[in-house]
Each structure stands twice: as structure tokens, then as C-alpha cells.
Amino acid sequence: MKKHRLTTTRIIMLGFFLGAVLGTLGLLLPVSVKPGQHIDPYDAWFVAMSSICVTGLSTVNVGQTFSAFGQVILLFLIQFGGLGIVTFTTLVLFILRRRITLSDRMLLQSAYNLDTLSGLVRLTMRILKVTLCLEALGALGYALVFVPEYGVLGIWYSIFHAVSAFCNAGIDLLGGNSFCDYQGNVIVNLTTVFLIFVSGLGFPVYWEIARGVSHRLRPKGTSDRRKLNLHTKLVLLTTLALIIGGMALTLLLEHGNPNTLGALPWHEKLLAALFQSVTLRTAGFATISQELFQPASCLVYLLLMFIGGSPAGTAGGIKTVTFVLLFASMLANIRGKKDVTILHRRVPDETIRRCVAIATFSFSALFILTLALLAVQKSDFLDTLYEMTSAIATVGLSRGLTGLLNPAGKLIVSLAMYLGRIGPITLALAFNSRTPAANVTCAESKVIIG
């Protein structure tokens, strides 16, 4: 009898799904909700899926609905979703002192898209250490504001929001109004921006920057100057361009809107525009209610949400590198060039095909699920498209539709969050792990395009 071995993609898909199921069961326990509060299975499933997919959309007021026990469950789901099933599994095996087998190492290699099996377990431990250090740094930043305001409870608020921000979850305990009450608070804004920015770069970028810095700190003549690789350059340049571009367009389109930036002094306008541009990188926190933004701004935000963060990090979307390579491929075709080159480096055709597959999958899922939600919800088109883009890019921003979803709508948005979290990852892994097909060339035939 033939044994069916679970592939990397199936492990990731099952891991997130089973995690959501267990989270739902945990949230349905009486001890998980505050006295006098109730949560139905649809809402429990929705919040659990949103947490483990680090999205941030919620059909209930998290801070008012869930007890300390329920909030701990949510924090565990967020951390699990942010680190990923592969990293988390390796961590558990390490804690239990179980031997990391060759198949486990190959799973790690596939998940991180690495070329070698050496040092993979050590790499996982480094990811955990960096995550905990950055989250602790963020918690200290939040504590400067939350502890004086909330006392001892502020310590828990600081930890929860630091993990939520670093994992790009966007779930808050502050009454369902996100960070709108802290719109002008520089510490809260910059702490959140820092956590979102660094987590959206992706772990491989950390190591590359660290190696580059260590090489530059060595005495001259002991080693050659190490330049950043193409991936790191693309991530840094694209991330900065999108953040600055999003901030500039927000200032341009919203500077006269009295409901958003119009009534703010200039330094708060800059702070609010920066926060809005950064949080669109799939973070989900907000200092301005999204329904107050003008349609022109929302169109820009739809694109920024769809692009998302960078590969091998906690952010969602099709990823910055995918977007840049698709744009470079378009320019190459317009100029009649055979190869796609960027920063004086040629990009393999196989990589471009993967980018096309990931973008096509994400856009197709967005189109189909938006159509389904419009059919069952009968909601405003812009609000629905914003909701679905936010869900499938695991952003967590909403124009007020989340709380109005009916049971069918909750299931559709939950599916969007799930596909948005595991879709691009599993597609990329499927391409990486697939056995090359036989080299069979079919007859060529021309078709008319354009």
C-alpha cells in the first residue's frame, strides 16, 4: 500500500487550519469570555482565523469580550501565525529535546527557500531570539505610555500590542478603536511604525544586513567588502519607496479633508500620514478610521495592501519583490528585451513565472471572493472591496463592514484570510519543491494578443 507523505505545502495548510480550529474551541470555553459576555461559534471561528492568519479583522470587541484567558489564547495564535508552522514546530521539537530529523531540516529548507541544509536549526533559533528581542523592545516602548495610564494592566497591554504589531496582526485590546485615541502620541506611533517596518522586511534581510555590518566593522585588509545581495536591495528600496509614496499621497489627497488630516497641525499630519502608509503594509492598526478617507485615497490604499510586505517575514500580500519583478518584466517587454534585468542583474525566467502565478492567484481569489461577499452581504462596493483586499492581504483594516457581516459573510472573509495567509507561501513552495517535468517541447503556435 502506497504511503502518502505530507508535503511542505500540506503541512503548512493543515497547520494553520488546525490551529484555527483549536483556537476556536478555546475561545468558546466559558472561561475565555468576560462575565456577562457571549460569543457564538461564527465569531469565535472568525477571530481565531484572523489571529492565526495575523490579519486583525474582528467581528467582536476583543478587549471587552475576552477575559485574560481568552486574550492569552489570542496572543498564542498571533505568535504562532507570525512565526509560522514550520518555525513553531522546530521550536517545540527543540524544547522537547526531540531529534531534528533530515525530513524536518528539508522542511525548513523549503519553507525558507534556502540553498543548504547546514545551520537550519540554528537559523530557527536565531529567528526566535530576534523576534522576542524586537517584541520586548516594542513592549518597553508601549509601556512608557500604557503603564502610567493603565497601571499594572498596562504591562499586559504593552506585551500584547508589541506581539500584535510585530506579527502584523493589528488586534488591539483598547476598546475596538485601535490607536485612534493615540493619534498624536509620538511614542505609540513610532513604536508601532518601528515594529511593523522591521517585521515587514523579512528575516533573511536581517541576516544579510548583519553580515554586511560585521564585514564593515572588521579591520581593513582582513576581508573583502561585502555588498548586499539583490534580494535585500530590492526589499529595502521597494519598502522605503512604498512607505514614502503612500505617505506623500495621503498628505496630498487628505490634507484638506476635515475628517482625517485637515484639522490636524502639520506635525500631526506628517505623523498620521506616516502611520497610515506603514500600517497598510499588512499591520492593521489605525489612528484614523478608514471609512473617513476619500475614495481616491482608498484606491491607493487598495494597491498598497495588495502588495503587502516582503518575503519570509510576518507580513502578507503578494510581497514587494513579486511586485517589483512583475513591473520589471513589463518594462522589459515594452522595451523588447529578452531578459528581465534589475540593478544590473538578470532575473531567471522561472522566477518571473512564479511571480505571475502568485499575483494571478491572489487577484483571482480577491475577485471571486469579493463577488461572493457582494452577493451575500449586499454591501457598498468600495467597503466590500476594501474589506476583501484587507482580508486576502492579511492587513486587518476595515471601513466598518466587519461588524456588519452576516454568518455567510463571516465564512467568506475567513476563507479570504486563510487563503491570503497560506496561498502565496504554498504556491512559492510548490514551485520550489516540484519535481522537474520531462523535457518535452510542444509544437509552437502563434496567437493574437493586444
Task: Give the list of residues 6+ apart from residue 214 with CB closer than 8 angstroms, or none.
Answer: none
Predicted confidence at residue 290, as pLDDT, reads 94
Predicted confidence at residue 1, as pLDDT, reads 44
- Write out the DSSP string of 28-50: TSGGGB-TT----HHHHHHHHHH
Q: What is the DSSP letter of 220?
A: T
Task: Give the list of residues 6+ apart from residue 68 with CB closer than 8 angstroms, or none.
Answer: 156
- State how far the alpha carbon of 237 is from the alpha carbons of 347, 359, 444, in Å: 17, 20, 39
pTM (2 d.p.): 0.87
Nearest in space to 39 (alpha carbons), one of 17, 23, 56:
23
Nearest in space to 74 (alpha carbons), one of 193, 171, 215:
171
pLDDT along the chain (450 residues), means of 10: 56 81 95 93 94 90 93 92 66 57 55 52 76 93 96 95 92 88 94 92 79 67 66 91 95 93 92 95 89 95 92 81 92 89 88 88 93 94 95 92 93 92 63 54 72
Print burial letters for 405-444: b (CB count within 10 Å at least 16), e (below 16): beeebbbbbbbbbbbbbbbbbbbbbeeeeeeeeeeeeeee
Nearest in space to 317 (alpha carbons), one of 107, 82, 55, 88:
55
Task: Give the list of residues 6+ apart from residue 252 with CB closer than 8 angstroms, or none.
Answer: none
Burial class (CB in 10 A: 0-12, 13-18, 19+), 336: exposed
Phi and psi dihedrals of 66, rounded to 5? -95, 140
Predicted confidence at residue 373, as pLDDT, reads 96
Nearest in space to 197 (alpha carbons), one of 165, 149, 228:
165
Nearest in space to 395 (alpha carbons), one of 178, 141, 174, 112:
178
- State how far the alpha carbon of 35 is from the alpha carbons of 65, 67, 249, in Å: 9, 8, 45
Print burial letters for 4-40: b (CB count within 10 Å at least 16), e (below 16): eeebbbebbbebbeebbebbbebbbeeebbeeeeebe
Predicted confidence at residue 304, as pLDDT, reads 94
Predicted confidence at residue 100, as pLDDT, reads 56
Phi and psi dihedrals of 50, rounded to 5? -65, -35
Report the amino acid identity of residue 178.
Answer: S
